[in-house]
Amino acid sequence: MHSKLELPEFSVSQFVAVFNQSIEMLYPAVSIFGEVSNLRISKNKWVYFDLKDEESSIKMFGTVYVLPGPLEDGMQVQIIGRPRLHNNFGFSILVSSIKPVGEGSIKKANALLYKKLEKEGLFDPARKRLLPYPPEKIALISSKESAGYGDFIKIINSRWSSLDIKTYDVQVQGADAPDQIISATSQANQTDAEVIVIVRGGGSKDDLVAFDHERVVRAIASSRVPTLVAIGHERDESLAELACDVRASTPSNAAEILVPDLKHELKLLEQIMYTMQDIRTRIIQAKRDEIDQYKEAINRLFTEVITREMHDVKIKQQLLESLDPRTILHRGYAVVRKSGKRLISKKGLKIGDGLEVILADGTIYSTVERV
């Protein structure tokens, strides 16, 4: 005889507890792809939806915190979560991460989030701040394993020295990337960093979705410290780059934006010094030429003044000579005096008066014999 198979017996609550323990041991977390259906948000706190494919559907729930941005029914997503059997509501998955997948869903999610954030003014150019140039202290958020990190470090070290760079090593893709980027941004804001730089290399649109995550975009937009973001290649543009203060086309370009090329600056300084020396020489020579011109002008003016004054003196001398009584005497005239007084008339003369007759070459003393 076959022994009767003994089946385990449970109460409903016991079975739910055993089931949850068992599934937690087997599948503590699962990643599932599917289409969003019956999406609803309750009290702006909880999100509920069904994840389905052509044959099956699973109930999903979680906090709005897990949303990468606005979602719509019909979008393809990848969720990460914990399976569980609820006492009253049955089987569901507690979602910890949602990521749009597929080109169409990613574009749709980005468009919805862009519209939402643009309406709030997060992309307004008036919000943008200037970066310190060059900064002394940089907070770098990136994966040390990424090509973008290597490019940035290589270029910035080749261009400038004595930089204080603190690196926050984070995942730049995958389910944990958004939370790590947000945490690093928050930590950097609590330091004396002058700029926060977020870089990663290129990749598919699916690889870059962390930088289109709503909480990541908001963390960058609300940063106290000015932000510089370079995600992917020049053709790539994430919402994080639209929200930051300055966007760089590549990680290498980010380094070029942040600091000048020291070698180029030294060469430029040398050229400036040479130009200044040349200008100085030209100015000095011009001033010397100007002084020489002034000297020539002064000498010429001095000569003219002396010549003119000598001419005036000569004329005045001639005038004085012409007015000198002695000059008149040389022309045959004489000055007659009586008792030391010059006579200008014969009136008052008497016979016998003594006279002085002053000629050019001497004096004659005479007596009046007839009047």
What is the three-class DSSP state of 160? coil
- Chunked mean pLDDT (size 10), the chain, 371 residues: 72 90 91 93 90 92 90 91 90 92 86 92 94 94 92 91 92 90 97 96 80 94 96 77 94 93 82 91 93 92 91 87 75 81 82 82 85 77
Q: Which two tokens stand for residue 139?
A: 């907070």
Nearest to 206 by CA among 185, 175, 244: 175
Q: Is the entire prediction scored with pTM above 0.85?
A: no
Residues constituting the chain: 371
Q: Give the integer Cα–Cα distance in Å for 211 and 231.
A: 8
Residues 125-153 as b or e (16 or more Cβ within 10 Å = b): eeeeeebeebbeebbbbbbeebebbbbbb
**pLDDT in the model for residue 40:** 92
**pLDDT in the model for residue 257:** 93
Q: Give the integer Cα–Cα distance in Å for 195 and 251.
A: 15
Residues in contact with 341: Cβ distance below 8 Å, sequence separation at least 6, in sequence order: none
Are 355 and 369 contacting, i.e. CB atoms less than 8 angstroms apart? no
Q: Give the integer Cα–Cα distance in Å for 371 and 352.
A: 10
**pLDDT in the model for residue 1:** 47
Residue 39 is given by DSSP the state E
Phi and psi at residue 35, to the nearest 5° = -105, 135
Nearest to 139 by CA among 54, 275, 254: 254
**pLDDT in the model for residue 56:** 92
**pLDDT in the model for residue 87:** 86
Number of H helices, E strands in the chain: 9, 14
Residues in contact with 161: Cβ distance below 8 Å, sequence separation at least 6, in sequence order: 262
